[in-house]
Amino acid sequence: MNQDFISRLEDILETEQILQNEPMDRHTTFRIGGPADLFVVPSDKEQVRKIVQICREEGMPYYIIGNGSNLLVSDKGYRGVVIQLYTRMYGIYPDGDKICAQAGASLAKIAAAALKEGLTGFEFAAGIPGTLGGACIMNAGAYGGEMKDVLEEITVLTKEGEISTISRENLDMGYRTSAAAKNGCTVLEAVIKLEKGDKEAIQKKMEELKEKRISKQPLEYPSAGSTFKRPKGYFAGKLIQDAGLRGCRIGGAMVSEKHCGFVINAGGATAADVDALIRHISEKVKEHAGVTLEPEVKRLGEF
């Protein structure tokens, strides 16, 4: 990695915020991935803006992540800069019936903060393993709730490198998409608007949803959550099961026997294993049901 480039980053970041040849299996929920040339952990939105500006000026590839919950990183790693928001940009600030939070804050911790404040409406997100930034980009949802139901506004870094705010009426959120995603924006922080509720009722609902997840999802294995988007009129897990793929395995990657919508790291899986299994599933479901499955998992690096 070019030392002049690193020196420019050192002008705005502390030494401990810049890691070289960082193994990405430490930073993805799949527990898979080779080294990133540089791995940087900004503390605030202005640092993110400056890092991206430097990368663009120097022609350096970069990729922004939260906690890597929806990411498959190549075994060869990533030739560029991974900008991770999870380690330092995790602030959560309740304010009346609203919660302001940085993009790296986990949805589980935001839900816990809402419970503490007696705010209802965010229970659906308590068990989603991702961070706020990614959840806003993809309109994450579960058990009848979606981010579009609770977002007041989001602050983003535009593809032109400017920090801007998008209000609720302009979020344009749909199934696994948003205006921010369509326009190539990176979410930096968001304001969530909830309602006053009964703490006992909120906690009870969170516990009920947690039990549902534990009983139906393979949470004991590393994975990236649901591997495929839901095809219109179908359920991906049911299509995969009907194609006879329950327990199907390539190397250490396996279709979960508990929930066929999950590809799991059953032990020692490589990114190549997971990628091959995802492609195999897609082919078999297309052959069996005539339905094209679209992966929800993002690939990073060379495959």
Phi, psi of 17 (to 5 degrees): -90, 0
DSSP 117: T
| Type of residue at 77 | G
What's the pLDDT score for residue 285?
98
How confident is the prediction along the chain (303 residues), in pLDDT tens digits per residue?
789 999 999 999 999 999 999 999 999 999 999 999 999 999 999 999 999 999 999 999 999 999 999 999 999 999 999 999 999 999 999 999 999 999 999 999 999 999 999 999 999 999 898 999 999 999 999 888 999 999 999 999 999 999 999 999 999 999 888 999 999 999 999 999 999 999 999 999 999 999 999 999 999 999 999 999 999 999 999 999 999 999 999 999 999 999 999 999 999 999 999 999 999 999 999 999 999 999 999 999 999
pLDDT at residue 2, rounded to an integer: 85
Q: Closest Cα partner for 133 from 169, 83, 193? A: 83
pLDDT at 282: 98
For residues 176-204, one letter each, b for 16 or more C-beta atoms within 10 angstroms of the residue's C-beta and e for the rest, the string is: bebbbbeeebbbbbbbbbbeebeeeebee
Strand partners, 166: 154
Q: How far apart are CA 279 and CA 285, in angstroms?
A: 10
- Beta bridge mates, 36: 22, 78
Looking at residue 84, what is its pLDDT?
98
Q: Which residues are designated catalytic?
A: 176, 226, 296
